Amino acid sequence: MELASLDPRGPAAADTAVLWWILLGFGGAVFLLFLVVLLRALRSRASESDGDSPDLIRRFLIGGGLALPVVVILMVFGLTVGAMMRFPALGSSDRLVVELTGYQWWWDVVYPQSGIRIANEMHIPVGAEVEVRMRSADVVHSFWVPTLAGKIDLLPDKQTALVIEASEEGSYRGVCAEFCGLQHAKMAITVVAVAPDEFEAWIRQTATGPPAPTGEAEVRGQTIFLETGCGECHAIAGVASGNRGPDLTHLASRHTLAGGTVPNTIGHLRSWIADPETIKAGTEMEPAGLSEQDLDDLIAYLATLE
Ligand code: CUA
């Protein structure tokens, strides 16, 4: 789904959208009033009349320049505080918790209650509050899924948190909303909201690691993965435990690659491993330097990581 803050699919985003429409309404009304006054002034100048009396001008200045802004600002302030007070309080113990860490330029996603670690994708149940606790591993990033909630920064030295809730099933696109270096624009995240029972099934399935490879190419691919040093940076449950790059335990079930840059297809995976710079210049991922055959086998193995 697009980054549409005016097409909200969650209570926090709905509050924000209502505020936006009210602000647009106020802004539009004041602009129309201004046009009417301007036209009137131009007309009286064209007819070379004496214009409005000083008393009318004085009243207009006090009303339009003082009273109207004070009323509008107070109303908008009240509505904003009201919307803020409807934000759920942090720290509720019966909520699903997701720990999100921002890296240049990808997202590490951990479910501490079930020990699941994935990347660049967050699965949540529909109709439930989810507490997202955030931190950055390097510079300041910002988590923003416009259809679900407002944005909040991920800081290197302090945890921040936000409660999100989706009211409908769907895949919601999120981005990093704070400039964080060369590939800030290629730091996307997908929030997948599913029915609660489907979510429970996802948790059960994902909590178990990937099956051991059985085919000849897949077994060889796993050896190549380890011998090439992929495991120095990437973890795969039961196989490798690198932590500089995204966890690959469930790579094959992901929708995107390279921090949301391209769809997760065999072709993209191949280009990404062979020469990451062509997809995301500046990435820390290095070219694997493999023969075509080795690359084929490695990809055959990675495709088993459901
Ligand atoms: Cu991370 Cu912009």
Q: Looking at ligand 1, which atom is closest to the CA of residue 104?
A: 1
* pLDDT tens-place string over residues 34-86: 899 889 888 877 776 666 677 777 887 788 788 888 988 899 899 989 888 88
- Count of beta carbons in the 10 Å neighbourhood of residue 121: 22
Q: Looking at ligand 1, which atom is closest to the CA of residue 177?
A: 2
* Residue 164 Cα distances to 48, 94, 123, 149, 151, angstroms: 61, 14, 12, 6, 11
Beta bridge pairs of residue 171: 192
Give the Å distance between the CA of 6 and the centre of ligand 1: 23
Give the Å distance between the CA of 101 and the centre of ligand 1: 11
* pLDDT confidence of residue 90: 85
- The answer to whether the CB of 185 is under 6 A from ligand 1 is no
Give the Å distance between the CA of 173 and the centre of ligand 1: 14
* pLDDT confidence of residue 48: 64
Please enumerate in sequence order all residues whose Cβ is within 8 A of that of 6, keeping only pairs 6 or more positions apart, or say none: 17, 20, 21
For residue 284, what is the DSSP state?
S
* pLDDT confidence of residue 100: 97
Give the Å distance between the CA of 90 and the centre of ligand 1: 24
**Which pTM does this prediction carry?**
0.86
- The answer to whether the CB of 141 is under 6 A from ligand 1 is yes
Give the Å distance between the CA of 98 and the centre of ligand 1: 19
Residue nearest (by alpha carbon) to ligand 1 atom 1: 141
- The answer to whether the CB of 259 is under 6 A from ligand 1 is no
Cβ 210 vs Cβ 249: under 8 Å: yes
Give the Å distance between the CA of 10 and the centre of ligand 1: 23
Beta bridge pairs of residue 141: 154
Q: Where are the alpha helices (DSSP H) in the chain?
A: 11-46, 54-62, 68-85, 196-207, 216-227, 230-233, 266-274, 292-302
Cβ 100 vs Cβ 107: under 8 Å: yes
- The answer to whether the CB of 178 is under 6 A from ligand 1 is yes
- The answer to whether the CB of 111 is under 6 A from ligand 1 is no
Tokens for 37, please give them.
Answer: 């006054």
- The answer to whether the CB of 96 is under 6 A from ligand 1 is no
- The answer to whether the CB of 180 is under 6 A from ligand 1 is yes
Distance CA 287, CA 16 (A): 43
Q: Looking at ligand 1, which atom is closest to the CA of residue 154?
A: 1
Give the Å distance between the CA of 184 and the centre of ligand 1: 4
Task: State the 10-residue block means of pLDDT for the chain, 306 residues long.
Answer: 81 89 89 88 74 75 83 90 86 89 95 93 95 96 94 95 94 94 93 96 89 89 92 91 91 90 92 92 88 92 91
